Amino acid sequence: MPALSTLWSRLGAAARRFGLRHALRTALAAVATQLLVTALNLPQGYWAVVTAVIVMQANLGGSIRAAWTRLAGTAVGAVFGAVAAHFGGQSVVAAGLAVFATLAVCTAIPRLRESSRVAGITTVIVILGGHPDIPAVVLGFDRFLEIAVGIVTALVVSAVVLPSRASRALAHGLARLFEDVASLFAVVVEGRLREDYPERHIFALKDRILRTLARCRELRLEADTESRDKGESALRAMLLFRGERLFEHVLGMDHVAVEWRGKGLHRHLPEELAALEHTGAEVLTGLAAHLRGSGPLPEVAALDAAVAAAREKLAAMRRDRAPAAYDLSEVMHFFSFVHGMLACAADARETVARIRSMEMA
């Protein structure tokens, strides 16, 4: 049984890596749409099949967003195309004016801006792809019906066949974000304490975090499309905001570490800084595990103790006038770096507290 479980897990990982589930769902949506348009005897049913393939996204929220964009764009384009074809026929002038009007209207209305390209294409198809014996209104309606059939089929398949939720993907994306920020935080601090800046490692981590952030922003919009629950939406927004803030704090520390090569003030409290780094990274890693559903919310008592110890040591250094023995550049770099560490600790603690209060509400 353990061997079978391991094999099943590996097959699942391979399917996710190569996008086999998405490929299967898209293929099923295309086949189902073709069968449906054949049964309905739609004149150009291949447009419905094309639409089903385009609308089918990796998760339900993405499919809904793509469906809205294509349906709205098709409706606007069909209306303008039918009007232009009725009054101007299949002329280049009519097509140009119709496309101009379509794009102008879509751009002027914020909710239609994403639909402008589809609307323009539909306008051109209705005008130039028509037949003299078929009224423009009928052609526009047929185009809208074909697109609607493809959209509905794609959404049904997306919701029923091996469904994937954007909210779940976002939770894993945010978990990876906090995990990578924790790694970057630890690497930057350790590099400074050891006076050995690992440039290539830090660059790779920053690049991965930036890509994760970009994907999480997209997934958040898709997750909000899936569910209108205000509490869940607020939690997702808070987590993404806190992840971005933590990354900004660590970027500030990294900027200081690049310029700060002196051997100085940080040697007065290596144990306090090491404890602050360890407990901060531990809380962020615990947050990542909780978001994946593999652990409880992390405790912050050790982090609070590390922050208190660091602040006490800093106060003692000021009383002993330790900074006076160093030049201004060293003092500024040191306090900027430590302030970044304390800001990361504060945001990590606040994130845990906010999640706990939201989950208990």
DSSP 226-247: H---HHHHHHHHHHHHHHHHHH
Mean pLDDT by 10 residues, the chain (361 residues): 54 56 87 89 83 82 82 87 82 86 89 85 80 73 84 86 84 95 94 84 94 94 82 91 96 87 77 94 95 91 96 92 86 90 96 89 63
Domain limit, last residue, from 125, 160, 195 = 160
Distances (CA, A) of 297 to 277, 278, 289: 19, 17, 8
Amino acid at 71: L
Statement to judge: residues 38 and 58 lie in one domain: yes
Residues 187, 209: contact at Cβ < 8 Å?
A: no
Distances (CA, A) of 5 to 11, 49, 293, 344: 10, 37, 20, 39
How many structural domains are present in the chain?
Answer: 2
Q: What is the pLDDT of residues 181-218, one digit of tens each?
A: 999 999 999 988 887 888 899 999 999 999 999 999 99
User: pTM here?
Assistant: 0.78
The pLDDT, as a whole number, for residue 283 is: 96
Statement to judge: residues 122 and 215 lie in one domain: no
Residues 352, 297: contact at Cβ < 8 Å?
A: yes
Statement to judge: residues 184 and 125 lie in one domain: no
Count of other CB atoms within 10 angstroms of residue 203: 11
The pLDDT, as a whole number, for residue 222 is: 86
The pLDDT, as a whole number, for residue 186 is: 94
Statement to judge: residues 92 and 141 lie in one domain: yes
Q: Angle of helix 328-360 relative to helix 166-193, nearest 10 degrees?
A: 150
Look up the domain containing 198 and give its range: 166-360
Statement to judge: residues 307 and 354 lie in one domain: yes
The CA distance from 65 to 28, in Å, is 20
SS3 assignment, position 293: coil
The verdict on residue 356 lying in a domain is: yes
SS3 assignment, position 269: coil
Alpha helices in the chain (DSSP H): 2-17, 20-40, 46-55, 60-88, 92-108, 116-128, 136-160, 166-193, 199-226, 230-259, 270-291, 301-319, 328-360
The pLDDT, as a whole number, for residue 305 is: 96
Rg, the chain, Cα only? 28
The pLDDT, as a whole number, for residue 3 is: 58
The verdict on residue 9 lying in a domain is: no
Domain limit, last residue, from 107, 132, 160 = 160
Statement to judge: residues 152 and 170 lie in one domain: no
Q: For the chain, how far is it from start to end, CA to CA, in angstroms?
A: 41
| CATH code for the domain of 275 | 1.20.58
